[in-house]
Amino acid sequence: RDVSQAKSKVRMLNFRKTNYQLFKDLVNRTPWETALRDKGAEQSWQIFKEIFYREQEVAIPRRKKLGKQGKRLAWLSRDLLAKLKAKKEMHRQWRQGQVSWEEYREAARLCRDGVRKAKARLEMNLAREVENNKKGFYRYVNQKRKIKENVPPFMSRAGELVVTDEEKAEVLSSFFTLVFTGKLSSNTSQVDGPHDGNWGSKIPPTVGEDQV
């Protein structure tokens, strides 16, 4: 709880509300010739940064830093957000007996349909513009993935269990290097066992490290 409160106190510059005219006036009012006279390059740079940051604090306001939970979802428009807040308020009123169940159910249905259509509209736009916005498309796809795929542990020919990512990378890199250079013998390694990482009582797959 203390950590979350400490994070909430972090504030960052809000460039959208910058008073550029004020910042320009403050910088122009600075007697640069006097401040930088007979100063070396390093000392002049330090003086410039101090003045710049001081004027920046005056002309650029700060705002609370938003984490991942504070960012609005890509498909969530202002109108839909207002409807969701109204539905939440109506739910509170229903619990207090101020509105009927039918009224709240209708509001919930409209919000549910709105969310479904907004998500479908966003996915359709991303699919249409994938050639011009590949970064946005794959960012959305990665956010939808709940499970990150990884390489399961396997047993080497020497009988050693390869678990860490570094060991897996070394063994597989050496193995595939010999495969593509043609130095691997015809007796290639076999990979046995399930492929979903759930080994149970079965022996993990092996990689021909003796041929590497």
The DSSP call for residue 130 is T
Number of domains in the chain: 3
* 46 φ/ψ sector (left φ>0, alpha ψ -120 to 50, else beta): alpha
Residue 126 lies in a domain: yes
Claim: this prediction has a pTM higher than 0.85:
no
Q: Each residue of 96-129: pLDDT tens digit?
A: 999 899 999 999 999 999 999 998 888 888 888 8
Please answer whether residues 62 and 11 qualify as being in contact, where contact means their C-beta atoms are separated by less than 8 angstroms. yes
Question: Looking at residue 106, what is its pLDDT?
Answer: 92
Residue 82 lies in a domain: yes
How far are the Cα atoms of 30, 33, 36, 37, 46 from residue 41, in angstroms, in the given order? 18, 14, 9, 11, 9
Stretch 131-154: mean pLDDT? 74
Please answer whether residues 67 and 7 qualify as being in contact, where contact means their C-beta atoms are separated by less than 8 angstroms. yes
Residue 140 lies in a domain: yes
Q: Each residue of 63-85: pLDDT tens digit?
A: 877 655 556 777 888 889 899 99
The answer to whether residues 84 and 129 belong to one domain is yes
Q: Each residue of 196-212: pLDDT tens digit?
A: 445 455 555 555 544 44
Please answer whether residues 175 and 209 qualify as being in contact, where contact means their C-beta atoms are separated by less than 8 angstroms. yes
Alpha-carbon distance of 67 to 109, in angstroms, equals 30
The answer to whether residues 160 and 127 belong to one domain is no
CB burial of residue 10 (10 Å; 0-12, 13-18, 19+) = exposed
Question: Looking at residue 86, what is its pLDDT?
Answer: 92
Full residue range of the structural domain in which residue 82 is found: 78-144
Please answer whether residues 64 and 5 qualify as being in contact, where contact means their C-beta atoms are separated by less than 8 angstroms. no
Question: Among the three residues 97, 115, 144, which one is the final residue of a domain in this structure?
Answer: 144
Alpha-carbon distance of 109 to 31, in angstroms, equals 64
